[in-house]
Amino acid sequence: MATKRDVVQISSYSRRLKDNVKSMLDNYGEILKAAKVSSSEGQSSEYEANVYRVENEIEIRAANIVRAAESLSRLVSELKEYLILHDFSAINDSLTKRATELEQHQKTLLQDSERLFLSAKERELKAIEGGHNV
């Protein structure tokens, strides 16, 4: 059963995932747009300035993609940690199963010890009865 805090945390993870993937896709699309070669070169200095601007834009967008990918990697680590620390139902199921196994083992040991005790007492009684009959 998820608590309100768990629901908020999971929705935060979901939002971060969507934001990072959207950032990666948007930046990739903008890199493709910027990399288009135009047929009109115009003046040489204007063309060189445009190439320089596009080159810088592509570098910035590539850095944004890397940043979003690193953020996704951190998110995956946080999700793993969250799952390990908050998967109480699986832990409880495992503990309940183990407790049931141990209780069954305890019952078996008690039954065995009772049988051994009773058989030892029977032997003692037979030995006592055998000694009195002589």
Judged against a pLDDT cut of 80, whether residue 22 lies above it is answered with yes
Split at pLDDT 50, 70, 90, the class of 95 is confident
Judged against a pLDDT cut of 90, whether residue 15 lies above it is answered with yes
DSSP-based three-state secondary structure for 24: helix
Split at pLDDT 50, 70, 90, the class of 77 is very high
**Residue 100 CB contacts under 8 Å (≥ 6 apart), including other chains:** none
Using N-to-C axis directions, what is the helix angle for 44-86 and 4-34, rounded to 10°? 160
DSSP-based three-state secondary structure for 2: coil
Q: ∠115-119-124 over CA atoms, to 5°?
A: 150
Mean pLDDT value across the chain: 87
Q: ∠101-82-13 over CA atoms, to 5°?
A: 145
Average pLDDT over residues 61-79: 95
pLDDT digits (tens, 9 = 90+) for 96-125: 899 999 999 999 999 999 999 889 888 888
> How is 63-116 classified by DSSP, letter by letter?
HHHHHHHHHHHHHHHHHHHHHHHH-HHHHHHHHHHHHHHHHHHHHHHHHHHHHH
> Are the beta carbons of 62 and 31 closer than 8 angstroms?
yes
Q: Which of 15-24, 36-45, 74-83 has the lowest mean pLDDT?
A: 36-45
What are 129's two structure tokens?
Answer: 């009865």
What dihedral angle (degrees, nearest 10) is formed by the CA atoms of 116, 122, 124, 128? 180
Q: What percent of the chain clears pLDDT 70, i.e. is strictly above it?
A: 90
Place of tokens 């409880």: 92
* pLDDT at residue 30, rounded to an integer: 94
- For the question of whether the overall pTM of this predicted structure is more than 0.85, the answer is no
